[in-house]
Homo-oligomer: A and B are copies of this chain.
Amino acid sequence: MAKGLPKRTENYSEWYNEIVKRADLAENSSVRGCMVIKPYGFAIWEKMQRALDDMFKETGHVNAYFPLFVPKSFLEKEEEHAEGFAKECAVVTHYRLKANPDGKGLVVDPNAKLEEELIVRPTSETVIWNTYKGWIQSWRDLPILVNQWCNVVRWEMRTRLFLRTAEFLWQEGHTAHATREEAVEETERMLGVYARFAEEWMALPVIQGTKTASERFAGAEDTLCIEAMMQDGKALQSGTSHFLGQNFAKSFDVKFVNKENQLEYAWATSWGVSTRMMGALVMAHSDDHGLVLPPKLAPIQVVIVPIYKTPEELAVISETVDPIVKELKAAGVIVKYDDADNQRSGWKFAEYELRGVPVRLGLGSRDLENGTIEVARRDNLTKESVAIEGVVEHVKVLLDEIQANLFDRALKFREENTHIIDTWEDFKTQIERGGFIMSHWDGTAETEEKIKEETKATIRCIPFNSITEMGKCVYSGKDSARRVVFARAY
């Protein structure tokens, strides 16, 4: 099944594409730039959604739903925002088709032209702040802590499954606050939620930090992000949280009476993660045999494959397996007993390996005689024989161990591929080899731009936890107070 899967070291990009397709996560649709998320891929996304949604609710947020369409005039209201999104958007201009008067098929009905064009939302700040205007009069109406799960469209020219598609699924949180401090706190809180989700659920270590001015969200005063390292050493931005200041409140005239009885513009944040995280999940953990999934996000955590020749043998094996399945389910483990007789066990082994099922249990007649069962780990591909008696307890512990191991492995990989670089020559050499580079930067957009032009490396973020350490900019030699993270990125 997994035959012919490209090796990571040979063609990382093709390896990724093939895993996404062969593990049945997603495929390109006939609609330009849009993907079909297949049931197995969607099951992972559903688990991500559920975990994140629970975290949002724990931090006091509620869900709502806002219109798909953004009137053109809304987009125009915030200048930077318009600049950022107008160039790549789907524009609805008509509301009817009619039979082609000159022949077969349908044509756009010229009589059904919209007075004002509608943009398919690339993000919803404008529509939402136009709505908040009606919701916010007094400081008593604040904070508003709303999130929505939805689809958005950005007309990307070059697309890749999950990583960059014209339509993608995401959540976007949009909050309104009475003070700058509260809004800043919320921006940081939600980045923390994303970081915790990435690390605890995706087993993906992330660097939290601030974007430079040139990498900020269009319309934001500050953009915070989490950055993760993929196995080719490139960075993938996995979530962003924006402090929007009063920009959108001013554009949409959202004022409230504060505690001092004065009219003031509301303070805003927005934050989002998308199906892009699916790409990060694949690229961070998988190997040349296929997908590797952290147990907490695996649609199937344990698969049990019987090894038999005759129906009688299968019946005897099933007698042992049935109570194991029951016990595992009772323990909250998602288990599948694959006793389908149209495929051999070898084929099944390869198939579940390709699909990244964390634990595989194999049971044949000889195992039964010995009272043992074979336990195979997907993360490190090791196998061991354990007593049937204690297998449920063993599997429960193992799932936690695999989750932890994937995180540790990814963290170790990131540490081994993070380099402290102090000279421009070393920088240029290292960036070709990949990984994160921690270097001093003089803080100017000019230097940032030049480094990008010469090396394709961008500043991924100014990390929160960087030590204040005086130094010289790796490019310009000017003074610098802290190192930032450079990398090539998805």
Contact = CB atoms under 8 A, between A and B. Distances in A.
B31 A69 contact: yes
Contacts of A37: 64-65
A120 B92 contact: yes
A464 interface: no
A8 interface: no
Contacts of A263: none
A97 B87 contact: yes
B42 A62 contact: yes
Interface string A84-101: 001111111111111000
A63 interface: yes
Nearest to A152: B68
B153 A68 contact: yes
Given A31-B69, A71-B30, A76-B105, A95 B64 contact: no
Nearest to A131: B36
A479 B14 CA distance: 68
A421 interface: no
A394 interface: no
A442 to B, nearest CB: 33
A38 B153 CA distance: 23
B96 A88 contact: yes
Contacts of A97: 72, 75, 86-87, 89, 91, 117, 119
A34 B92 CA distance: 14
Interface string A130-155: 11001000001000001000110101
Q: How large is the interface on A (under 10, 10 to 19, 20 to 34, 35 or more residues)?
A: 35 or more
A35 interface: yes
Contact of A90 (B27, B29, B72, B92): B92
Interface string A106-132: 101000000001111000000100110
Contact of A95 (B73, B146, B155): B155
A167 B86 CA distance: 22
Interface in A31-85: 31, 34-39, 42-43, 45-46, 62-76, 82
> Assembly of this chain: how many copies?
2
A120 B87 contact: no
B65 A36 contact: yes
Contact of A131 (B29, B69, B96, B134): B29
Given A39-B146, A93-B93, A95-B91, A29 B66 contact: yes
A350 interface: no
B167 A67 contact: yes
Interface in A339-359: 342
- Greatest chain B CB density within 10 A among A45, A67, A92, A155 is at A67
A75 B169 CA distance: 24
Nearest to A76: B105
27 contacts: A27-B134, A29-B130, A29-B131, A31-B70, A34-B68, A34-B69, A36-B65, A36-B67, A39-B62, A43-B62, A72-B97, A73-B105, A75-B97, A76-B104, A87-B97, A87-B98, A88-B95, A88-B96, A89-B96, A91-B93, A91-B96, A92-B120, A93-B93, A97-B117, A108-B117, A120-B120, A151-B151
Interface of A: 27, 29-31, 34-39, 42-43, 45-46, 62-76, 82, 86-98, 104-106, 108, 117-120, 127, 130-131, 134, 140, 146, 150-151, 153, 155, 167, 169, 342
Nearest 9 A-B pairs (CB), nearest first? A34-B67, A39-B62, A86-B97, A37-B65, A91-B94, A31-B67, A95-B155, A93-B93, A90-B92
Given A86-B97, A89-B95, 11 more contacts: A29-B67, A30-B71, A30-B130, A39-B146, A42-B63, A75-B97, A75-B106, A90-B118, A97-B117, A108-B117, A151-B151
